[in-house]
Structure 1
Amino acid sequence: MTKTPLRVLIVDDEPDIRELLELTLLKMGLAPVCAGSVAEAKAALAAGRFDLALTDMRLPDGEGLEVVRHIGEAGLDLPVAVITAYGSADNAVLAMKAGAFDYLQKPVSLAQLRSLVKSALKVEAPSAKPATQQRLLGESPAIQEVLRLVDKLARSQAAVYIGGESGTGKEQAARLIHELGPRAGKPFVAVNCGAIPENLMESEFFGYRKGAFTGADAEREGFFQQAQGGTLFLDEVADLPLAMQVKLLRAIQEKTVRKLGSAQEEAVDARIICATHQDLAAKVEDGGFRQDLYYRLNVLPLRMPPLRELREDIPLFAERLLQRFAGHGPAPQLTADARQALQDYAYPGNFRELENILERAVALAAAAMLSRDDLQLTPCAEYSPEPGSDEPLQDYLDRVEREAIVKALEATRYNRTQAAKRLGVTFRSLRYRMERLGVK
């Protein structure tokens, strides 16, 4: 029995481009249907089911954004990609925020078109419940909201910006977005931007040809080439120097890179997910991060909640960690007092700190039951209101934060720039916290 070809809606008012797209899709074994306006596109969508839509941004009776929004508002289950004029990156960002799957720039590269179509038509990834269970756990409202957003973000190809404090699981969220999406079978390349020497960044990101510089005795692929067809995760993206930010912006916009020592550019197809514990918007204001790159990266934002917002899930996290650290033997149990102590703790280091606390306790404990003393919690970060007081948790946390800021200021003779570095926050963030907490 002959399989029915997948149907693709092409929306463009230029006959030459429509014909080019139509012929390319026919050669891929697909069934293209053409429309020349927003109205014709809506009529075609109402008349039959499609598996993919490609729409130009400029149409005689409106914009391609109207087609993108119509597909979303009508609840049509199909990815839509937009075609933008060369240099109209802002339009592409707007379209992807409106729900577009991906974008192409004119003049349309047929290689990129074929790659986009192949990715889009695999957008319905296999069920990834096991990955979800392994990557992100919890029943609290905050973590459930993260899982809901991750599932939604996985269906797009837009850039994702994951914010959150250190140790909140930003890389795990990025990996889950990759595993739930159509690129699941392709590489996931994680890069710590703060760990690469500045003089090696270009060669590490874009690769190099043999003989490009002293020591380049063989050709090497860069991070973009290694992530071809998959996902490139840029961790601590705020640490990129300005010179590299310019090159990264161009690679993301043009979807091409040039190896060091090469005269030719090569097309790359990698979804970008970035993360940082810093306030990237503040870095833009301070001039430390390019605004145009920020807008290209921050298309779809995701915030990872700190552990103190997931207190009801801490017993579950602890149980899983204790099972892991116990190896093949029986997992230690927590006394009621120890369990309460874990739930009351503030966790400035978030999940990484919880892992450290429990791994140390399992290694050093003499009994099968772990007591409060076995946890060796840092007193200054533990939520321990004075006897007889009903100090709210937020008041307690504010007090601890205020004490830490004052201590850092005193240690640096009230040099706020140095104090911010000592605390691991931006100058603007420190200034905001001082104003909020009334620190003079």
Structure 2
Amino acid sequence: MTKLTALIVDDEPDIRDLLEITLSRMGLNTVTAGTLAEGIAGMQKHTPNVCLTDMNLPDGKGIELVQWIQQHAPNTPVAVITAYGSMDTAIESLKAGAFDFVSKPVELPRLRELVNTALKLAQNPEPAQEDNSDHGLLLGNSAQIHTLRNQARKLARSQAPVFIQGESGSGKELVARTIHQQGPRCDGPFIAVNCGAIPSELMESEFFGHKKGSFTGAVDNKAGLFQSARGGTLFLDEIADLPLPMQVKLLRAIQEKAVRPVGDSHEVPVDIRVLSATHKDLPGLVQNGLFRQDLFYRINVIEIRVPPLRERSGDIALLARHILQRIAREYECTPIALSDAAIDYLKGYHFPGNVRELENILERAFTLCDSDVIDSSDLQLGSSSSHIDPSWLAPTGEVMATEDIKLSEQGLDLEGYLEGIERKAIEQALEATRWNKTAAAKKLGISFRALRYKLKKLGLD
């Protein structure tokens, strides 16, 4: 089997020797250069599979070599070696197209992780154009979604932090998953976390883990989200909701590529890629002092925008068909279609909730529609087409008895109360019909499809 080749560009002989020994022990052929000109010549002569370059060279900057490789050999991953603490330089190199960076003094475990990840890219070169036969997670044929898929494919080949901007429900997590799945970390975990859903007092433990006995309730050691994502991708959704004290700790963890569990005196190195997203105006929050500028600068190395659904209404029919097929599979029902009038109705709707709202509309229509075709009238929001005749319920009227509706000191759990009514009504209908679902649906005044959906939802199936 032909050995892979690495090009090492550094003007310090000791550094070159260290890198050459390390990569040789990894089974790579190595070629070395001491200047920018020699590095370009080495690229032209040896066509290496991976390149490591120092940022400061006698006749130029390593970033110039990064730009040359981007133009002439874009399938060759290039990593930049920066001085300790030179985060601005590292970010500049990532924006120029560097695959990743490593700081001096070079930590050999970190270097080996970086090279192994780069070699996965080298052995899976970027396709020349988008493969239209498989849209993956990002469905659609609009120009906007084509652009988004191409951007995601290119960003998958980098380790640069990506900031995903988009409205709620537009598919930011799908973009993050696409970047993960198409990159060299696809075999590792994808950990998604909603930053706004974690109580502030638990954030440090959730992100970084904790040691047993470090606080009340810490009965065991716990690996945090950073450690759980090791070798893969950590997606920080709604990052704008992080409180300022946590932003400081997150910035350090991202920059140092290490975390310190609560109650531990040692840092734990973590090899992860960080992607983040929010629907809020993050630059505006920075200006108002609600989000740290240095953290924003660190996570926003590359920005990608997810278009709202109203800007790509031509994709609605394709998305709707896909959603309806998924719903039918989940609830083990026969798939149903949308009428042309229903599709036109959806195309004219503003969709403030984007794709997530489309899913909710179609799931409701799927359960309430009596035919095999959803028409525009079935898409009306806020209407109810379910009428239950209470005459067959328990003779005492126990389900709907007003004495059951009592407010506790904490108030009424309306959602739980209504779910209890629904569960009781369905159970009684099934018992009255000897679990004949078709007859039970008729007695309840709903479609068989709606009954199947409710049985799944309530765990009665």
TM-score under structure 2 normalisation?
A: 0.79
Alpha-carbon distance between aligned partners in 1 of 2:36 and 2:282, rounded to the nearest angstrom? 37
What root-mean-square deviation, in Å, do the aligned CA atoms of Structure 1 and Structure 2 show? 1.8
Alpha-carbon distance between aligned partners in 1 of 2:17 and 2:297, rounded to the nearest angstrom? 33
Aligned to 1:135, the other structure's residue is in SS state: coil
Q: Please name the residue that 2:274 is paired with.
A: 272
The answer (yes or no) to whether the contact 2:48–2:76 under 8 Å persists in 1 is yes
What's the CA shift for 1:333? 2.2
Matches within 5 A, 1:389-428: none
Match 2:192 to one of 172, 190, 193: 190
Q: Deviations over 1:54-110 (max 9, x none)?
A: 011111111110010010111342000001111110111110010000000111111
Counterpart of 2:40, as a letter, is K
What's the CA shift for 1:287? 0.7
Q: Please name the residue that 1:41 is paired with.
A: 39
Q: Please name the residue that 1:176 is paired with.
A: 178
Q: Please name the residue that 1:77 is paired with.
A: 75
Match 2:241 to one of 226, 239, 242: 239
Match 2:48 to one of 47, 50, 53: 50
TM-score under structure 1 normalisation?
A: 0.83
Matches within 5 A, 1:37-436: 37-123=35-121, 124-125=123-124, 133-327=135-329, 328-377=332-381
What's the CA shift for 1:331? 2.1
Give structure 1 stretches of 5+ with no counterpart.
Answer: 380-440
Counterpart of 1:268, as a letter, is V
What's the CA shift for 1:378? 7.2
Aligned to 1:156, the other structure's residue is in SS state: coil
Alpha-carbon distance between aligned partners in 2 of 1:336 and 1:47, rounded to the nearest angstrom? 60
What's the CA shift for 1:134? 4.0
The answer (yes or no) to whether the contact 2:136–2:178 under 8 Å persists in 1 is no
The answer (yes or no) to whether the contact 1:125–1:181 under 8 Å persists in 2 is no
The answer (yes or no) to whether the contact 1:131–1:179 under 8 Å persists in 2 is no
Alpha-carbon distance between aligned partners in 2 of 1:324 and 1:188, rounded to the nearest angstrom? 22
Give structure 2 stretches of 5+ with no counterpart.
Answer: 384-461
What's the CA shift for 1:132? 5.4
Deviates more, 1:200-209 or 1:145-154: 200-209
Counterpart of 1:373, as a letter, is S
What's the CA shift for 1:335? 2.3
The answer (yes or no) to whether the contact 2:49–2:77 under 8 Å persists in 1 is yes
Alpha-carbon distance between aligned partners in 2 of 1:203 and 1:324, rounded to the nearest angstrom? 36
Aligned to 1:323, the other structure's residue is in SS state: helix
Alpha-carbon distance between aligned partners in 2 of 1:130 and 1:218, rounded to the nearest angstrom? 49
Alpha-carbon distance between aligned partners in 1 of 2:141 and 2:263, rounded to the nearest angstrom? 52
Alpha-carbon distance between aligned partners in 2 of 1:320 and 1:33, rounded to the nearest angstrom? 50
Aligned to 2:120, the other structure's residue is in SS state: coil
The answer (yes or no) to whether the contact 1:131–1:176 under 8 Å persists in 2 is no
Bigger-Rg structure (1/2): 2
**How many corresponding residue pairs?**
377
Q: Deviations over 1:247-281 (max 9, x none)?
A: 11111111111111111112111000001001111
Q: Deviations over 1:365-419 (max 9, x none)?
A: 122222211101479xxxxxxxxxxxxxxxxxxxxxxxxxxxxxxxxxxxxxxxx
